[in-house]
A = this chain, B = another copy of it.
Amino acid sequence: MVRLKCIINYDGSQFSGFQIQPKKRTVQGALETALTKMHKGEYIRIQASGRTDTGVHAKGQTIHFDSAYDIPLYNWKQALNTLLPNDLYVKEVEYADDSFHARYDVIEKEYRYYVWHESEPDVFKRNYAYYFPYELDIRSIQAACDYLEGTHDFTTFSSAKATTKGTKERTLYQVSCEKKGSEIEFIFRGSGFLYNMVRIIVGVLLDIGQGRRQPADIMDLLAKRDRRLVGETVPSEGLYLWNVRYDEKR
């Protein structure tokens, strides 16, 4: 038995999210169908670094699974990509330690969020960035990003529906915002993220960019730990699970 770790990409626009659901097209469903076919009907269960919602994309989602097959890594990659639909791609396959776990061993995740910041929408961007035509003060947003970095209780910035037990304290190593041509790129690197956390934070950052709040309000919002104080979750099409890091020593 070997444990395999894979880095996968997917265009989330045609998937009903990551997690398997009856009669829905999901990333987990597509991966397990391909693996089960490769294993002649034996059900192969995968574990991912975490779920992603409907419409959310991934550049560096990471999964693991166990197999009795002893085949070269390159052939694993080839075989899987041949069986997968073309909006899901296995970028890397490697052997992992038997104790490796794609979810429990995460030490850092990076998410990015893209905003299409033009006066008119672009049909080619509709599934890949959030169309936001209003004026924004990027410097204010950047100032607010600085307040978000560090270790905080992010209750205010997580879905009220969240089922997470235990602490809502997380550490953000990087929160940044940059205008790149017609797009605005937000980068979030952190120890972990609560449900909807990136999309709720981006909503608040866009409020700040419009002058509806001040950058320093972030401190107050964090301290109050109340989801009702902030606005709507921005749409899923702008969100990308960009990278997942594990302890290299393992």
Contact = CB atoms under 8 A, between A and B. Distances in A.
A46 interface: no
A129 B206 CA distance: 32
Chain copies in the assembly? 2
Contacts of A68: none
Contacts of A89: 120-123
Nearest to A125: B11
Interface residues of A, number: 16
A57 interface: yes
Given A11-B124, A57-B124, A86-B121, 6 more contacts: A9-B122, A10-B123, A11-B123, A86-B126, A89-B122, A124-B128
20 contacts: A9-B122, A9-B123, A9-B124, A10-B123, A11-B123, A11-B124, A11-B126, A57-B124, A86-B121, A86-B123, A86-B126, A87-B123, A87-B126, A88-B123, A89-B120, A89-B121, A89-B122, A89-B123, A91-B120, A124-B128
Interface string A1-31: 0000000011100000000000000000000
Interface string A83-108: 00011110100000000000000000
Contacts of A57: 124
A89 B3 CA distance: 48
6 smallest A-B Cβ distances: which pairs? A11-B123, A9-B123, A86-B126, A89-B123, A87-B123, A11-B124
A214 B54 CA distance: 49
Nearest to A84: B123
A122 B122 CA distance: 20
Contacts of A91: 120
A120 B122 CA distance: 26
